[in-house]
């Protein structure tokens, strides 16, 4: 077991958490602070196929006893963990800020508390579940949820703690044991989660956490003892996981990002729409649901752009720990170069760079908030997810054209509509292709609602009872009436 690391006063173990104990690997990988890239935070244990098997075996061994508990009995552990997350909110937020660069104020005031709510919400939903009971053809019927088995949760590097808890909570509440694999660019808040699991006194092997890259991921997703896989990340990785899951006939959900439209009609509150559009630069655009395609009715183009630029000018790039910062650093130099590559190709192909378009400081992990007017809807920067502080701007003349542009990519995660017409809100809201569509707002989430994507944006739905159903095997029990 490796020595714990002190990160700005917070003690963090760099090891895996398997079977209720810390387990180290001979090899490590480093994680650095995105906004102080010269600062190495930790050398983290690098999992391999052997670590994968150890974690799956621990989850398999722990499954029968955990599955045998009632939802109320499992809820005791989940609520206890939620309490500990709240009690350690500042430490969790600080470590995630340093490791991923999300704004510290946002983490400590909202995001970490949402992670605690994830455990409370799913614990209570599992208790509240009402079995469907009905009579048919002389039989009495019931639909029963049965725990499925060890569940593998693979999460991305953006908002890692909140997304990890969002996925792990329903698996645990449904009676499954869990192996969590966080992204190797931001693993440290998950390392802290292992300490809280131990403090919450979870039975050994119920909740396991392993860190690593492709070797670890491939070994986990191809292990026949895994009974559910929930993944958020890239399309190429999802294809690999999907093939492994198919080999073992394992149910698999995937949330794969988007290229969402922010559609603004002339009858909208233009100031509110422009402010929300400028807000899409939050977290340097590293948000899967971001409305990165601004599609504005031609008649209000000038008014919208005037307000949009005014709001964008108010953004402050800098240290994510400082309250005045509004745009955080990007996660990694490799990702910065990827985003700059999109901008360079857009410029070379004739797209107009209206603002931004370059690195904020030499050698730093920020790209200036960028707005591009593409020469056509087929432009790469319109059709492919950039996942950075890059927005495109297009106009339309009538509703049909606006909807057509909104639906003109292979993605379908979400959409944002601004209009003052209630009938249009309902009509266009139904037409825009996306798993979630907001009207005159953004990122308002009800945890009981289904969440997922259409097209290449994903497979399956999570959230509320949809997630609990995914993590269960559903059984119909039929008893001949009057026979016993």
Give the residue numbers annotated as catalytic, written as ranges.
Answer: 255, 288
Taking the C-alpha atoms of residue 426 and residue 414, their distance in angstroms, rounded to an integer, is: 15
Q: Which residue has the tokens 């009436």?
A: 481
Give the three-state DSSP class for 174: coil
Q: CA dist 199 to 47, 62, 81, 204, Å?
A: 24, 18, 8, 12
DSSP letter (8 states) at residue 403: H
**Tokens representing residue 52 in the block:** 């994968």
DSSP state letters, 177-226 = -EEEE--TTS-HHHHHHHHHHHHTTPPTTSEEE----HHHHHHHHT-TT-
Residue 21 bridge partners (DSSP):
18
By C-alpha distance, which of 100, 411, 116, 93 is closest to 283?
100
Q: Please, what is the Cα angle at 278 between 370 and 326, to 5 degrees?
A: 90
Taking the C-alpha atoms of residue 134 and residue 270, their distance in angstroms, rounded to an integer, is: 52
CB environment 176-202: b (16+ within 10 A), e (fewer): bbbbbbbbbbbbbbbbbbbbbbbebeb
Q: CA dist 415 to 27, 290, 391, Å?
A: 43, 8, 14
Taking the C-alpha atoms of residue 218 and residue 237, their distance in angstroms, rounded to an integer, is: 10
For residues 167 and 460, is the Cβ–Cβ distance under 8 A? no
DSSP state letters, 277-298 = HHGGGGGGG--TT---EEEEEG
């Amino acid at each position: 077991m490796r020595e714990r690391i002190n990160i700005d006063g917070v003690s963090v173990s760099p090891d895996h958490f398997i079977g209720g104990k810390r387990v180290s690997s001979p090899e490590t990988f480093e994680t650095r602070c995105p906004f102080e890239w010269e600062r190495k935070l930790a050398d983290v244990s690098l999992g391999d196929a052997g670590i994968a098997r150890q974690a799956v075996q621990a989850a398999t061994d722990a499954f029968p006893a955990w599955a045998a508990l009632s939802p109320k009995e499992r809820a005791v552990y989940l609520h206890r963990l939620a309490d500990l997350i709240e009690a350690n909110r500042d430490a969790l937020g600080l470590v995630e800020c340093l490791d991923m660069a999300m704004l510290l104020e946002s983490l400590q005031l909202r995001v970490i508390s949402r992670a605690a709510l994830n455990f409370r919400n799913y614990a209570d939903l599992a208790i509240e579940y009402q079995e469907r009971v009905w009579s048919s053809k002389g039989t009495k019927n019931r639909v029963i949820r049965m725990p499925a088995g060890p569940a593998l949760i693979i999460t991305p590097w953006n908002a890692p703690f909140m997304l990890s808890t969002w996925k792990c909570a329903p698996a645990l509440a449904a009676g499954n044991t869990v192996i969590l694999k966080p992204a190797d660019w931001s693993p440290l808040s998950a390392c802290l989660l292992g300490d809280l699991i131990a403090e919450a006194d979870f039975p050994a092997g119920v909740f396991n956490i392993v860190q690593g890259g492709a070797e670890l991921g491939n070994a986990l997703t191809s292990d026949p003892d895994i009974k559910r896989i929930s993944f958020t990340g890239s399309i190429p990785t999802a294809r690999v996981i999907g093939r492994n899951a198919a080999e073992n006939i394992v149910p698999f959900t995937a949330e794969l990002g988007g290229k969402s439209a922010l559609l603004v009609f002339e009858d909208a509150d233009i100031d509110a729409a422009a402010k929300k559009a400028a807000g899409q630069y939050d977290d340097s655009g590293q948000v899967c649901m971001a409305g990165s395609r601004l599609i504005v009715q031609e008649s209000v183009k000038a008014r919208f752009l005037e307000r949009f630029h005014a709001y964008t000018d108010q953004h402050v790039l800098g240290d994510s720990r400082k309250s005045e910062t509004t745009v955080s650093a990007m996660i990694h130099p490799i990702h910065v170069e990827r985003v700059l590559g999109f901008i360079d190709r857009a410029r070379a192909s004739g797209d107009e760079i209206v603002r931004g378009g370059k690195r904020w400081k030499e050698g730093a992990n920020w790209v200036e908030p960028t707005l591009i007017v593409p020469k056509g809807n087929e432009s790469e920067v319109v059709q492919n997810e950039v996942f950075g502080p890059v927005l495109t701007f297009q106009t339309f003349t009538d509703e049909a054209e606006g909807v057509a542009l909104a639906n003109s990519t292979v993605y379908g995660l979400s959409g944002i509509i601004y209009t003052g017409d209630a009938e249009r809100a309902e009509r266009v809201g139904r037409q825009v292709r996306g798993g979630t569509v907001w009207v005159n707002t953004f990122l308002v989430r009800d945890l009981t609602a289904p969440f997922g994507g259409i097209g290449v944006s994903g497979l399956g739905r999570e959230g509320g009872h949809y997630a609990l159903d995914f993590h269960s095997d559903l059984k119909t029990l039929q008893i001949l009436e009057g026979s016993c």
